[in-house]
A = this chain, B = another copy of it.
Amino acid sequence: MSVEELKAKIQQLEAELKQLRDDKGGAREKIAQMSGEVVDSNPYSRLMALKRMGIVEDYEKIRTHTVAVVGVGGVGSVTAEMLTRCGIGKLLLFDYDKVELANMNRLFFQPHQAGLSKVAAAANTLQFINPDVTFETHNYNITTVDNFDHFMDRIKTGSLTGGPVDLVLSCVDNYEARMAVNRACNELGQTWFESGVAENAVSGHIQFLIPGEIACFDCAPPLVVASQIDERTLKREGVCAASLPTTMGIVAGMLVQNVLKYLLNFGQVSYYLGYNALVDFFPTMTVKPNPQCEDSWCRKRQAEYNAKKAAEPKVEKVVVEEKAVVHEDNEWGISLVDETAPEEASSEPQVSGLAKGITVAYERPAPTSTEEEANVVQSEDTSLDDLMAQMKSL
């Protein structure tokens, strides 16, 4: 090695040592105000360039926002990192798990963090990456009674200004935790995103939920991406699920991209966006809430939303009604997983129309009234014919 190379190596080793010795020290000072100045030392120059490019009108607004990330695993950790690097105001992290070497096949965590709680390890690294972000961590399971109450309280009062958070992002890997987030968000009228990755690691989805306006997680069986392989998104006990950094990175990217579109008001937020990795197929759709939803808070939010819509000037109402109601059969030909919901919900209808490429995680009992079918609107199908041709050729 040349002297120059040796010196570079020393510089690099010293930098690594600095980080390991003092993770919280931060390599840069806090920055009081985001600047668009184009200099190598400005960590926000490429984000503020979104204004100059005409994409985002007010990028700095991101610093006023608070987002709660529930589940800091393969999707949640990358989600938190993306938001941190984008300069979000505050992040609340919830998880009760520890980092293990078995997590190293996904992005973010590193081997020396094995044994640490995921929320502590994540906050430590993220604070170092961007000291301008405020972090609040909760190392507990949100589904127990006491923790659930505390979780509700933090969603309600955890923002930078002591009010409700702007968004809750569910990045958990099991049905119970999803239902807990759903219940909390319905009761609080809290807008949130759900995300999920299949056990076989080759499909995933994100879903945007506005209580009363869009179907909640309890309105209909969970929607998952159809594939030619038997799968279900919901984790089964005792089975070691496969996972890939690619699928989880893409799902986290789809999630945070839609979070940015929602918070910074650009582009169009997807209500449901799926990803089938085997054929690079990304179905989208929207599902209306179920008037017979088991969740009483969901029904209450629906009544509020309907009253609000009815009170709006007619011109706005027409725009909403212009959306064609499409009832398509699921032409995918994939058999549904033959399993009923953990909580029997006899009053709930089956989903009658699904966008191509999307199916339900399991079937629920037949509806008591066929008139209460979940209405599927705005089914945005993508090239099923081509896809079927491709799949036949596999």
Which residues in A have some Cβ–Cβ distance to B below 8 Å?
3, 6-21, 24-28, 38-47, 49-50, 52-55, 78, 81-82, 85-87, 100-102, 104-107, 110-117, 120-121, 124, 128-130, 199-202, 229, 240-247, 249-250, 252-254, 256-258, 260-261, 266-268, 270, 273, 277-282, 284, 378, 380-383, 386-387, 390, 394
In the bound complex, residues from chain B placing their C-beta under 8 Å from that of A50 are 200-201, 242, 244
Contacts of A261 in B (CB 8 A): 277-278
- List chain B residues, Cβ under 8 A from A25: 111-116
The one of B11, B39, B43, B124 in contact with A105, judged by C-beta atoms closer than 8 angstroms, is B43
Interchain CB contact under 8 A, A18 and B112: yes
Identify A242's interface contact among B53, B243, B278, CB under 8 A. B53
Determine the chain B residues whose CB is within 8 A of the CB of A8 once the complex forms.
116-117, 120
Q: Are B114 and A27 in contact (CB under 8 A)?
A: yes
A261 to B390, CA, bound (A): 15
Nearest-neighbor residue (CB-CB) of A56 within chain B: B242
Given contacts A104-B129, A250-B253, 19 further A-B contacts (CB under 8 A): A10-B10, A13-B14, A15-B121, A25-B114, A25-B116, A27-B111, A28-B111, A39-B102, A43-B111, A45-B240, A50-B200, A55-B200, A55-B201, A55-B242, A78-B249, A85-B107, A244-B257, A258-B280, A280-B282
Q: Which residues of B contact A7 (CB under 8 A)?
A: 6
If A46-B241, A50-B242, A243-B46 touch, does A40 touch B100 (CB 8 Å cutoff)? Answer: yes
- CB-based contact A242/B121 at 8 Å: no
Contacts of A254 in B (CB 8 A): 246, 250, 280
Residues in B whose Cβ lies below 8 Å from that of A277: 257, 261, 267
Can you list 6 A-B contacts (CB < 8 A)? A6-B6, A49-B242, A82-B249, A202-B267, A268-B278, A380-B390
CB neighbours of A82 from chain B (8 A) = 107, 245-246, 249
Measured between beta carbons, the chain B residues less than 8 angstroms from A281 are 282
Beta-carbon contact of A10 and B9 below 8 Å: yes
Q: Are A49 and B17 in contact (CB under 8 A)?
A: no
Q: In the docked arrangement, what's the CA distance between A243 and B50, Å?
A: 8
- Which of B27, B45, B383 is the one whose CB lies under 8 Å from A383? B383
Contact status of A53 and B200, CB under 8 A, knowing A81-B245, A85-B106, A394-B268: yes
